[in-house]
Amino acid sequence: MNGKEPKKPLSFVALLLGVLCLFACIIGLYTFYNAKGMSYFSNESEACNNCHIMNDVYNDWLKSSHSKKIAGKPRATCNDCHLPHSFVEKWIAKAESGIGHAYAFTFKLDVLPTNLSATQKSKGMIQDNCVRCHSEMVSNVVNPTTNPHGNESLSCVSCHTGVGHKRGF
């Protein structure tokens, strides 16, 4: 012998790790396909309704003025109201939301709420988008940054609670 030991155990470990990685990739792709993962890269509100927890919110949106179509497109999609509009910020927010939802729906099924509620961060995005879309219409009537009832800024949805949907804010 030349002093070298056979590398069979190391080869077996490498093969086992390779098989496990391949299995994990197959499971991941299957889950992504089953969860309609590609739809989340779109701007379509239907993607938000992939999950049954959003059925009521989506049905409310379908009845709202924002879902009414102009030239074949809704006035406002879920993304139009709930995500920033700059390219980088939008995709960062989508990724954060998607990872958070995936984690919750995978590991926290026993504590999921019946309806999701907006976080402080998402409330801020929604307010910014209300003002961005409607500032010309309301600029002579309302200053969207003042609140006559306290020191917090006035939120559009404090008066217009059911405009986009009735639940979750």
- Binding-site residues sit at 48, 51, 54, 78-79, 81-82, 90, 130, 133-134, 156, 159-160, 165
Residues 87 and 68: their CA atoms lie apart, in Å, by 25
| Chain centre distance of CA 47 | 9
Q: Is the CB of residue 82 less than 8 Å from the CB of residue 133?
A: no
Handedness of CA 127, 133, 136, 141 (dihedral sign): negative
Binding site listing for heme? 48, 51, 54, 78, 81-82, 130, 133-134, 156, 159-160, 165
Angle at 131 between CA 161 and CA 49, to 5 degrees: 55
Residues annotated in a binding site for a menaquinol:
79, 90
Find all residues with CB under 8 Å of 33, minimum gap 6, and list them.
none
Tell me which residue of 13, 69, 77, 75 sits closest to 40, measured CA to CA.
77
* CA angle centred on 164, ends 153 and 121, rounded to 5°: 45
